[in-house]
Amino acid sequence: MTAHVLQWVLSELAHRRKVVMATVLNTAGSVPGKTGARLAMSSSDAAWTGTVGGAGLEHRVLERCRRLLLEAEQPFAEVVTYGLNKGAKGYEVTPLDSLCGGRVSIAIEVMIPMPHVHIMGGGHCGEALASTLHGLGWAYSIHDTRDTYASIEKYPHAVERSSAPIAKLLGGESGPSLSRFSDVLLLGHDWAEDQERLLGLLHLLNTPDAVLDGVSAPRLGVIGSRSKWQAFESACRDEGLPQSLLDQVICPIGLNIGAQSPEEIAVAVVAQIMSLHKGVDPKGSTWRQD
C-alpha cells in the first residue's frame, strides 16, 4: 500500500497537481490504522488513494486534506494527534466520536509540484538556463528546429527533446497537454520562429478546455526587446487573439538585474520563475541589515 500511495503521489506531482499526504506516525491503544499507513489526496477533483485506517479517523483526516488543498499555497506540514474517544483530553489532542479508545498521531504534508520549464530555443541562453534549472532540481524540456541544438549532448537532463518543425510540434499539443509545463519560454534564434511558436501556443490556450483538473495553464515568456513584443502583439491581434491573453505573456523575461551574459540572463529568468512559483514579491528584501 505504501509503495502504491507514493507512486500515485509522484504521478500527480508530475502532472503539476498539488498533493496532501497523511501518514500515521505512531499509535497507542486500539486504533484503526497502524504506524506507516498512508493516504494522499490531489487537487484533481480531490481524488485520493490509500488509507489511514478508515472509520471516523479517516473521515476527519480527509476533511483536513480537502481544506489544505484549498488553502495552502506553499509546502506545509503539521502533526495532529487524535484521541479516539469523544471525551479524550490532553495537550493538543483532537477528540473523535469513537469507541476505540486509542490515540494516533498523523503527519499531514502539503506538496507543491516543482516547475517544469519548456525551453524553446536551444542556443547559448537556453543552455545556460537548462544548467541553472538542473542545479535547482527543476525539470526542463527542450525544443529547437536545429537537431544539434536539441541534442542529448547539449541537454542531457531534459525530460523531453524535440527538433520537429514548429507546426508539427504544436500539432501534437492541446491546452490541457501544455499544462504539464509551468513555464514555456521562447528563446529562439529566429524571431519568425518565436512568433510562430507564440501564435500556435496562444491559439491552443485560447479554448474553453485549455485548463483541466484544476491545473493552471503554463506561463508564457519571450526573450527580447519591447519593440519585438509590440510586433508580436500586433501579429497576435491580427489573428483575433484576445488582448486579455496577450497581457499574460511576460516580455522581456527575467528580473531586471542588469543581466548581460547567457549565464546572468539564466539567473534573472530563474529568479523570476521562482518568485512567481512561490508567490513572493522580488522587490521586497529578505536580507536583514543590522
Q: What is the pLDDT of residues 234-243, one digit of tens each?
A: 999 999 999 9
Which strands form 161-162's sheet, in the order they lie side by side?
161-162, 139-143, 116-120, 183-186, 219-222
Phi-psi region of 65 (alpha: psi -120 to 50; beta: other; left: phi over 0): alpha
Match domain 116-278 to its CATH number in 3.40.190.10, 3.40.50.10540, 3.30.70.940, 3.40.50.720. 3.40.50.720
Q: What integer best gives the mean pLDDT of the chain?
A: 88
Of 95-99, 120-124, 174-178, 283-287, the range with the highest mean pLDDT is 120-124
**Which of 275, 277, 219, 214 shows the shortest CA–CA distance to 70?**
214
- pLDDT 10s digits, 155-176: 999 999 999 999 999 999 998 8
All CATH 3.40.50.720 domain ranges in the chain, comma separated:
116-278
Report whether pLDDT(51) > 60.
yes
- Stated pTM of the model: 0.81
Range 114-133 average pLDDT: 96
Report whether pLDDT(97) > 60.
no
Cα distance between residue 126 and residue 107, in whole Å: 40
* DSSP 3-state of 193: helix
